[in-house]
Chain A
Amino acid sequence: ETGVTQSPTHLIKTRGQQVTLRCSSQSGHNTVSWYQQALGQGPQFIFQYYREEENGRGNFPPRFSGLQFPNYSSELNVNALELDDSALYLCASRDQGGREKLFFGSGTQLSVL
């Protein structure tokens, strides 16, 4: 059973650029969610996808968008990057019936200069 994998592990961008982060869900998991963890903070919910549809969103602006593909892999896209977008971005997956256990990837560390 493979776990949740994320790529890339580290990324450096400049303000105003766009970035795409990728995630492969754990085998058999049809729900994926993305979290942003700023330095010294806990993870904050960005959005969740189930069966390729967004079914929940946190307090993040529309320049944060996502996709889920038929194989349950997922992308997080951020447009017009701002300095405050610098954070660890975590992808998590679960089976629809297993609400309690989120399985997290190791994250992508994004630095915006």
Chain B
Amino acid sequence: DQQVKQNSPSLSVQEGRISILNCDYTNSMFDYFLWYKKYPAEGPTFLISISSIKDKNEDGRFTVFLNKSAKHLSLHIVPSQPGDSAVYFCAGGRNFGNEKLTFGTGTRLTIIP
């Protein structure tokens, strides 16, 4: 049961352009969503989060949009930089219970100089 899905395994974007990474979920009980970024041989690092009661959160070059009716969220990176090349995971979480995160399978983003 894949509760969080990232249907694009990879994405290539020109440097300076906008990168848009997509994520769909089936569990309407998630209270918040997060994006993590992972470089090879490193653990995932937290990027940005959004509460389920919001539809947008912005932090510098990174903006996350949430469409609850479509059960869809997206991460926008603008402008894209070579250092953004990494694997990006979206994850959903709940406020109560064991507070585990449910991750998608990831999207490998490559920024082309």
Q: Which residues of A contact B (CB under 8 A)?
A: 4, 33, 35, 40-45, 47-48, 55-58, 90, 92, 99-107
What is the distance, in angstroms, from A90's C-beta to the closest C-beta of chain B?
6
- The 4 A-B residue pairs with the shortest CB-CB distance, nearest first, are A56-B98, A104-B43, A42-B103, A45-B100
Contact B99–A99 (Cβ < 8 Å) = yes
Query: Please, which residues of chain A bring their CB within 8 A of the CB of B101?
Result: 43, 45, 102
Number of interface residues of B (CB under 8 A): 26
Task: State which of B32, B43, B49, B100 has its C-beta within 8 Å of the C-beta of A48.
Answer: B100
What is the distance, in angstroms, from B107's C-beta to the closest C-beta of chain A?
10
Residue in chain A with minimal CB distance to B87: A42
Contact B98–A57 (Cβ < 8 Å) = yes
Number of A-B contacts (CB under 8 A): 61
B28 interface residue (CB < 8 Å to A): no
What is the distance, in angstroms, from A23's C-beta to the closest C-beta of chain B?
11
Contact B4–A42 (Cβ < 8 Å) = yes
Which one of B12-20, B58-66, B71-79, B89-97 contacts A?
B89-97
Interface string of B15-50 (1 = CB under 8 A from A): 000000000000000001010100001111110010
Complex: how many Å from CA A105 to CA B4? 23
